[in-house]
Structure 1
């Protein structure tokens, strides 16, 4: 039986690439996609998500709109990327997507899909966890329907990637956007696997990888993903900042878990400055699993193979 999967993403290029990757996985049944307005403006991100579902003949997968806005906003120049994505040649002429205001709210979509699931459901979070926490606060009994949560989040033994006022640089953005929800999710002690910067720092978007992907340009998905990754070379407007395969690595865990090194630890989340959103090891904290390493060459080869399908 295929694994039932709910995905919540926040509309960045890496998130949309992750949605495409999920749709190439034969052992995954995607039962819903919700969008958090964190690393995106919501309306174009919903349009991008629908276009990618269309491209993969999966437009029947329901979409949910997240109306909750987090505590610490992403920079506006990062959030605008879905507007560019919707204009790419493979996507711009696809049929019109639905009115973005017609979608079910994201927490209600999560509640509906968990409630109606016949088996336990895996949840993939490639953005903040707010929609899931809102759903579980409303219907806490649905925790029993969750098989596993895979969340790209945190920085445990490495520095964070938040560089902003009144912050010490210790946090990762998906946690920093809404640290209160992050602390709640960790405190539930659900089967939560975090894919933190500790392991995503091993997988930058390199020109070597993009060059290999470009040799597959005759394959539709290689063509599109090559264009998407090329947009990341200037996504973060700072010469010292590297774009990593944050969400894609977390997503790949669904298909190649044996290529990851996993550790069980106790964690807490700081909810206020100067380290709001910091995920830190603490013996009085909550039990979670974290990825600490990955077979890097296998991971890159896996991506090339999937996007050649």
Structure 2
């Protein structure tokens, strides 16, 4: 199911490194990113967090192949956080790889870099300027990369991170946790704090913003109405694999990572940021909590206000291909 290649080498494109952790919404974020004409995707790196690495790598390669982007290197993460995602969640993306269009999709295993994810990030930064790093999983790979070569921070324009919960409850429900943290921040709380302390421009898309974007039947029905477009069709299939969580006594599936990806295209009235001094707790009972800390916190741009209709309309428009 090849999709028309929308890539060209224009120097005016925004350079992006995409680091994800293989969940269904991460894969949808990759699809959305590949529909953006103004993006020059330098690399995709994978954190083995909300996924099993082999499944996430295969899915990533197949999606890149759909868009004729066999030029994009893929880096596999070798680092692990302190708090593992539940095994059932990590296995869920396996379903995506057995959907008919994915089973039939060829891919190029040679796209997998010999460099680990953090090494590939540094290789890309060494040869580029003004790079946006989009992260829809934990911050482990980027933090490790910059600890090895801190001078490369100057190459980064901003970091768009789906992580954290500031003024709303978190989504971590573990026996030793007070439910104040979001999972990406909780997986590796030390790396989360190091990211905030890095001095980089961090645009945080946390649960404060994503809570307004549940994946509900109304949205999926609109997407299904344009299923004649291959990408709308496969996106609908991907989101359908999450239907057992809609609704759920535990949580609802939201457009966590997809909203973060939209920041690369919508940074006006659609998604509004406010500067906040934030810190990250690194130990029980609130490990990974991203909390306001006016005295010792770090300057972070936090998304609070989202024009839900504008974002959904943008996603529907982009998936008409």
Answer whether TM exceeds 0.5 for this pair.
yes
Question: 1: CA distance between counterparts of 2:242 and 2:72?
Answer: 27
* Contact kept in structure 2, 1:262 and 1:292, CA below 8 Å: yes
Aligned mate of 2:300, from 276, 279, 288: 288
Q: Gaps spanning 5+ residues in structure 2: where?
A: 1-11
Deviations 1:263-297 (A, max 9, x none): 00101000000000000000121111100011100
After superposition, where does 1:115-194 map in structure 2 within 5 Å? 115-117=126-128, 119-194=129-204
Q: Does 1:95 align with 2:85?
A: no
Give the whole-Å Cα distance in 1 for the aligned partners of 2:314 and 2:307.
Answer: 11
- Give CA-to-partner distance per residue, 1:220-263, whole Å, 9 cap, x none: 00000000011111258953410000000010010011111110
SS in 2 for 1:57: coil
Aligned-residue offset at 1:189: 2.0
Counterparts of 1:169 and 1:287, CA distance in 2: 24
- Preserved CA contact (<8 Å) 2:73 2:113: no
- Matches of 2:73 and 2:196 in 1, distance apart? 27
Whole-angstrom CA distance in 2 between matches of 1:2 and 1:32: 14
Match of 1:84 among 71, 75, 95: 95
The residue number in structure 2 matching 1:11 is 22
Q: What per-residue deviation string (whole Å, max 9, x for no partner) do you get for residues 144-172 of structure 1? A: 00001000010000000000111000000
Q: Are 2:79 and 1:68 equivalent residues in the alignment?
A: yes
What is the correspondence of 1:258-269 to structure 2 with a 5 Å cutoff? 258=268, 259-269=270-280
**1:27-73, CA deviations, whole angstroms, 9 ceiling, x for partnerless residues?**
00100000000000001100000000000111210000001111000
Q: Say which SS state the counterpart of residue 289 (structure 1) adopts.
A: strand
Aligned equivalents of 1:255, 1:125: Cα separation in 2: 15
- Which ranges of structure 1 fall in alignment gaps of 5 or more residues? none
Asked if 1 retains the 8 angstrom alpha-carbon contact of 2:185 and 2:289, the reply is yes
- Whether 1:214 aligns to 2:219 is no
Q: Does 1:243 find its partner at 2:253?
A: yes
Change (3 A) 1:28 1:99: closer
1:90 counterpart SS class: helix
Offset at residue 85 of structure 1 (A): 0.9
How many aligned residue pairs are there?
Answer: 308
Correspondence for 2:235: 225
Residues 124, 251 of structure 1: 8 Å contact kept? yes
The 5-angstrom pairing of residues 3-82 of structure 1 reads: 3-82=14-93
CA distance in 2, matches of 1:180, 1:237: 32
Aligned match of 2:309: 297
Q: What TM-score results when the alignment is normalised by the length of structure 1?
A: 0.97
Structure 1 Cα separation of the partners of residues 314 and 264 of structure 2:
12
Alpha-carbon distance, 1:102 to partner: 6.0
Equivalent in 185, 194, 201 of residue 211 of structure 2: 201
Q: Secondary structure at the match of 1:174?
A: helix
Contact 1:147–1:191 (CA<8 Å) still a contact in 2? Answer: yes
Offset at residue 96 of structure 1 (A) = 4.7
Tell me, yes or no, if the aligned pair for 2:61 and 2:111 is still in contact at 8 Å.
Answer: no
